Amino acid sequence: KQEVTQIPAALSVPEGENLVLNCSFTDSAIYNLQWFRQDPGKGLTSLLLIQSSQREQTSGRLNASLDKSSGRSTLYIAASQPGDSATYLCAVDTGRRALTFGSGTRLQVQP
Amino acid sequence: DAGITQSPRHKVTETGTPVTLRCHQTENHRYMYWYRQDPGHGLRLIHYSYGVKDTDKGEVSDGYSVSRSKTEDFLLTLESATSSQTSVYFCAISEGQRGPRETQYFGPGTRLLVL
């Protein structure tokens, strides 16, 4: 059974810092890995999707990497801003198109 | 934003009563999903659909049933609600084509409280 772990569970940083969120998964047989953002009381917003054949994806200040063989992904946020405060979730698709999620990292960016 | 609505957005019900949650999409996407989100468990898949009348079970399907009679609507029914089904329920959709556009889009969620 696929298990997804995210470390740390919570993170507080001052504005402007670069930061890294970590995601690990137990079964390397994945089709893709996705990063989402969730604001309190809201649904999930897709940030980045990395296909299994890719090593990384970039969108603005966000960069996600994937090392499938070691079962790891990182989400790099450059020059963090208070508006980045949210919970970040990673999820893997192991072939059924339904996703297995981690529990998330709750990020607080202090002004 | 993807055109996904969920109704109701909030519901309080009593143990033993049936409850139906509705997900409606305007994107004509093939795949639709129901997840529940609970503290300490993250999001877990309940059921999903890969076409009209085509559904399959997820990780936590016991006590739930689904129906999809039209592309745009996916219903989740709690046949006899229990307190353990108190949760936030999210609907999601995806095109179903493998590749860079395979991302899932989520609805705003339904908060269900079973007393």
d(CA B32, CA B92): 6
pLDDT at B22: 98
pLDDT digits (tens, 9 = 90+) for A32-71: 999 999 999 899 999 999 999 999 999 999 999 999 999 9
CB atoms within 10 A of CB A102: 26
* Of residues B58, B102, B109, nearest to A32 (C-beta): B102
- Chain B residues with CB under 8 Å of A101 CB are 35, 42-44
Contact call for B103 and A46, based on CB within 8 A: yes
- Chain A residues with CB under 8 Å of B90 CB are 43-44
CA distances from B81 to B76, B86, B113 (A): 12, 9, 10
pLDDT digits (tens, 9 = 90+) for B55-84: 999 989 999 999 999 999 999 999 999 999
Q: Which residues contact A83 (CB under 8 A, 6 or more apart)?
A: A109
Amino acid at B105: Y
Q: Which residues contact A19 (CB under 8 A, 6 or more apart)?
A: A11, A13, A76, A77, A80, A107
How does the average pLDDT of chain B come out, rounded? Answer: 93
What is the average pLDDT across B3-26? Answer: 97
